[in-house]
Structure 1
């Protein structure tokens, strides 16, 4: 009986402590509620301010900067910084200074561990900053890199996104582009186009050269210090092969293909007018060299 009374007393005492603790929490929540609401409001203001500041930096502060990738990276960086300032300000309003101090104190150790674990990601991040400030690659350029070819649509802190000719997107890590060669068709406004062809052995090579150069010059105007180059390259199996090179405005693969197509059509039209033959391989079967003999077999009956 006595032990039962002792147990009931302990349970009632424990319940009183729980109620007292919950009452204290409720009182603290009520007292902290204005600060909590204020912290949410402040963080929300900083959140929207980050977006407007990012847009302001890209469209106003960096208006005269022609390189779009610089605008994008600096805009995103400013947005992240302002958002972090708002987060730490909200913690200070909630009187979580000790938590903030602990976070900053542990940032060094955590940063070291994260840095070792995410070496590849950090490499891509720093490479993204480098690419953003490089004039050799910009948004809208047509590049070839790591076996992929297309137009640059985005440069961020992780990868470069290109849209290939089939309209599919390919994300290439920044470190891959930094560490490997890449070709940028848009880096120069003028490109040299090469067309290869062949003419029959019966052709007058001087006339072929003159007519071909005239056909190209008629549709592609060469600027000063530019010229149309014509070279015979080889005696082929059925033709004498040559290549012709000329300059035209081209900042992407599409313009290069169009120039090659127009050049081929102009050459074919000129050859038709002057009866110049463009031969193709022909296989001749001569059965006259094969003498078939028929033998008569006589079967004698016993």
Structure 2
């Protein structure tokens, strides 16, 4: 038993001595590998900052600029790591790492299909010129201002100041209505007047009121006034005009202001906006007794 222990101890000492010899022999390689890795780290930071400066001239979203700079930095570090493994003559370890990375990448890809779809969609959205920060859009049943766009979702701030996070995949796959692609928005207001109203006077009064109430309406010709139909209790009309805003909230405010101005103008000129009414036509053959019976 003692002999076996001595043999095992001697073998362990020989192994340690061989490792020490190998370490001493490879000290220059270790120093070179360490220097290469440090240079790769410094170079990755420099290239990352340089890429950010170059992308500042582009129209990419801020989140995408940060992503690209980080990806470039990681790629430089990985290249440095591969060089270090080559310097240390660890080719077998490198092959093992690459093989393991392939298997892990496949498993992660299958497990994160939804997240990867959102990431890809985020990259696509970052290159769309007609969707940027500050735009007022409507998509997937939600409407608001684009306040953030990352690799996971598009963040909208609604008129009530609530934030909505919509996955990028849904934004890419569904229609987007962008109110900010033009400098103006159209306000459409519907109303009705009594049947005994002077329709020409109503038209002139509404057009004149709108043209005086909004700076964007330079003259009365910019206001579109249309009678739509003979309704059940009123003659209905529609008026349209433009305002210098792309925000849905500003459109709602302009519509409210127009309603107030038109109502005041109608009151001053004795024009009635009738309540819904119903007229009963009773045949002469039917007699209604006013006498009430008592039990």
Structure 2 length as normaliser, TM-score?
0.77
Which residue is equivalent to 2:285? none
Q: How do 1:1-302 and structure 2 match up within 5 A?
A: 6=1, 8-18=2-12, 21=15, 31=27, 34=31, 38=35, 41-42=38-39, 44-46=41-43, 48-49=45-46, 51-59=48-56, 62=57, 65=58, 67-69=59-61, 72-93=63-84, 95=88, 96-104=90-98, 111=105, 114-220=108-214, 221-222=216-217, 227-281=222-276, 291-295=291-295
- TM-superposed CA distance for 1:141, in Å, is 0.7
- TM-superposed CA distance for 1:194, in Å, is 0.5
- TM-superposed CA distance for 1:68, in Å, is 4.3
Instruction: Describe the superposition over 1:38-82 as per-residue Cα deviations: whole angstroms up to 9, x where unpaired.
Output: 4663454245335423431233xx2xx4x342x642552233122
CA distance in 2 between partners of 1:29 and 1:188 (Å): 69
Using a 3 Å threshold, how does the CA distance of structure 1 residues 24 and 241 change in structure 2: closer, same or farther? farther
Q: Give aligned pairs, total.
A: 279
Q: Which runs of 5+ in 2 are unaligned?
A: 280-287
Contact 2:44–2:72 (8 Å) recurs in 1? no
- TM-superposed CA distance for 1:215, in Å, is 0.8
Greater displacement, 81-90 / 255-264: 81-90
Using a 3 Å threshold, how does the CA distance of structure 1 residues 80 and 277 change in structure 2: closer, same or farther? same
Q: Which runs of 5+ in 1 are unaligned?
A: 1-5, 296-302
- TM-superposed CA distance for 1:271, in Å, is 1.4
- TM-superposed CA distance for 1:190, in Å, is 1.5
CA distance in 1 between partners of 2:134 and 2:141 (Å): 19
Which residue is equivalent to 1:299? none
Contact 2:60–2:127 (8 Å) recurs in 1? no
CA distance in 1 between partners of 2:195 and 2:290 (Å): 29
SS at match of 2:213: coil
CA distance in 1 between partners of 2:38 and 2:290 (Å): 99
Structure 1 length as normaliser, TM-score?
0.75
SS at match of 2:204: helix
Contact 2:44–2:76 (8 Å) recurs in 1? no
Greater displacement, 32-41 / 259-268: 32-41
SS at match of 1:216: helix
